Amino acid sequence: MDYGQDPAPGSSRRWAIFFIGSANFVLSMFTRVSTTVISVPLGDEMGLTSSQLAGVAAAFYYAFAFSQIPLGVALRRIGPRLSAAALVCIGLAGTIFFSIAATYSGLVVARILMGIGMSGNLMIVLALLAAWFPANRFASLSGTVVSVGVLGNLLAATPLALLSQSIGWRGSFYVVAMAQAVVGFVFVLTARDSPTMAYTLLSRDHGTSSRNFGHFFLTYSYWAISFSSFVRYGYFAALQGLWIMPYLAFGLGLGEIESANALLAMGLGYMVSLPISGVLSDRVVKSRKWVVLATLVGFCLLCVVMDVWGHVLVGWGIVLVLFLLGMFAGPGQIMYAHIKELVSPEFTSQAITAVNLFTVLGAAAMTQVIGLVMPSQPSNLNAALDFSPMWLVGIVALALACVFYVRVPESAMFKTR
C-alpha cells in the first residue's frame, strides 16, 4: 500500500470539509462537558445528589458510546453525509429538551438525545479525512481536528460560566441549540462522502468483508487499544466533565471563576498536545505505539502528583499541573490512527468507531465510578485529601493501560520503513 498516495490532489472541498467538520466537533466537545460549570446551579435548582449529577453527565456518554457500532454500520451503508444529517436533527432536539427539562429524568433523556446526536461528529470527520487525504497525514490532520474541537471544552469553561451567570443555564442552551442548527446545516451541505462519491474507503461489500472484520474483534490489539482509550479519555472526561470542579471548589476552596480558569488551563493543555503529538507520531518519532505509551505514563504520574501534593498547590501551581495533565491526556487520536493502520483500508470507519465505543463508554463509566467512591454530597467535602479516591481510580486504571499497551504491535505504516 502507498501510504502517501493522494486521493484528491488540489481539492478545495476537502479543506472545507476539514474546517466545517472541525467546527461541528467543537459543538460535540462543548456538549459533553457542558454540565461541569453549571453543576452547582443545576444541582441547586433541581435538588440533585452527587450520584444524580453523575447520572446526568454520564447519560450523554452511554448514549454516545452505544451509538458507535450502529454509526459504523451507517457510515458504510449510507455514507457520512446522510449519517450527519440524521444526527444533527437528533442532537438539536436533545439540546432544546435539556434547556426546558423540569425533572431529573427529563435531564437524563435530554442528555441521551444529545449523546446520540453528537456521536458521529468526530467519527464522520475522521472517515472523511481517510477518504479525502493521504494515509500518512491522518494522525496530524485528525490531531488538528480534535485540537480545534477542544475549543468546545474551553467554551464550556469560563465563557459558559459567564453566560450562565448572565442569562441562566437554560438560556445558555438555547444559544447552543442555535449554533448547532447553523453549523450542522452548513456541514451537511458541504460534505461529500469521497472524491468520487464511490465510498472508496467505505466499501458497501457487506458479505465476506464483514465476516473477515469480525476476526478483528478477537485480536489482542483491538482490546488493548480499546481499554487504553477507555481509561485515557474516560478518566480525563470524568474529571473535566464533572469532578474537577468540585475538587477545585470544595477541596481547594477556589471560587467559581477561579475554578473555571483552572478548568480552562486543563482544556488548553489537551488542545495544545493534539497537533504536536500528531506531528511527533507522523514525522519525528515515526511511531504510534511509543508516543501513546509515553503519554499514558505521564498522565498516570501527574495523577500521583495531584493525589499526594495537590493540597499544597496554589495559584499558578494548580493551573500548571492541570495544563500538563491535559497535555498528557490529549493524544488519543493517535490510537485511532494506530487501530486504522492495523486493519485493511475498507474497514477504516468500523475500526475507529469500534474503538470509539470504548473511548466514550469510558467517560460514562469513569464518571459514575468516581461518583460511587465519593460521598453523597460534594459540598460535604472540605479538603483536597477527601478527593483522594478520585485520583486513586485514575492511577490504578492508567497503570493497567500502560501494561496492556506495551504488547500492542507497531503500526504497519512504520513497520514497512
Tens digit of pLDDT for each residue in 355-404?
A: 888 888 888 889 889 988 887 666 677 788 889 999 999 999 999 999 99
Q: State the average pLDDT for the chain.
A: 85
CA angle 176, 233, 328 (to 5 degrees): 110
Q: Give the model's pLDDT for residue 204.
A: 47
Q: Which residues, other chains included, contact 406 with Cβ-Cβ below 8 Å and sequence gap of 6+?
A: 293
Torsion-angle region of 374 (φ positive above 0: left; ψ -120 to 50: alpha; else: beta): beta
Handedness of CA 270, 272, 274, 280 (dihedral sign): negative
Q: Which residues, other chains included, contact 399 with Cβ-Cβ below 8 Å and sequence gap of 6+?
A: 300
At 416, is the secondary structure helix, strand, or coil? coil
Q: Which residues, other chains included, contact 197 with Cβ-Cβ below 8 Å and sequence gap of 6+?
A: none
At 255, is the secondary structure helix, strand, or coil? coil
pLDDT, tens only, 91-110: 999 999 999 998 999 999 99
Concatenating the DSSP letter of every residue in 2-36 gives -TT--SSTT-SHHHHHHHHHHHHHHHHHHHHHTTS
Q: Give the model's pLDDT for residue 376.
A: 60
410 and 338 Cβ atoms separated by less than 8 Å: no
5 and 16 Cβ atoms separated by less than 8 Å: no
13-190+216-415 fold:
Growth Hormone; Chain: A; (1.20.1250)
Q: How far apart are the two ends of the chain, measured CA to CA in Å?
A: 12
pLDDT, tens only, 208-264: 455 555 667 778 988 999 999 999 999 998 998 788 988 998 888 888 788 888 988
* Spatial separation of the C-alpha atoms in residues 233 and 328, rounded to whole Å: 11
Residues belonging to the chain: 417
Q: Give the model's pLDDT for residue 264.
A: 85
| 48-57, 109-118, 321-330: least confidently modelled range | 48-57
Half-sphere exposure for 291 (CA within 13 Å, toward CB)? 30
pLDDT, tens only, 58-74: 899 889 888 988 998 88
CA angle 101, 61, 123 (to 5 degrees): 120
State the pTM of this model: 0.75
Q: Give the model's pLDDT for residue 203.
A: 45
93 and 117 Cβ atoms separated by less than 8 Å: yes
Q: Which residues of 313-334 are buried (b: 16+ CB within 10 A; e: fewer)?
A: beeeebbebbbbbbbbbbbbbb
Q: Give the model's pLDDT for residue 198.
A: 43
Cell of 384: 483536597
At 67, is the secondary structure helix, strand, or coil? coil
Q: Which residues of 338-355 are buried (b: 16+ CB within 10 A; e: fewer)?
A: bbbbbbebbbbbbbbbbb
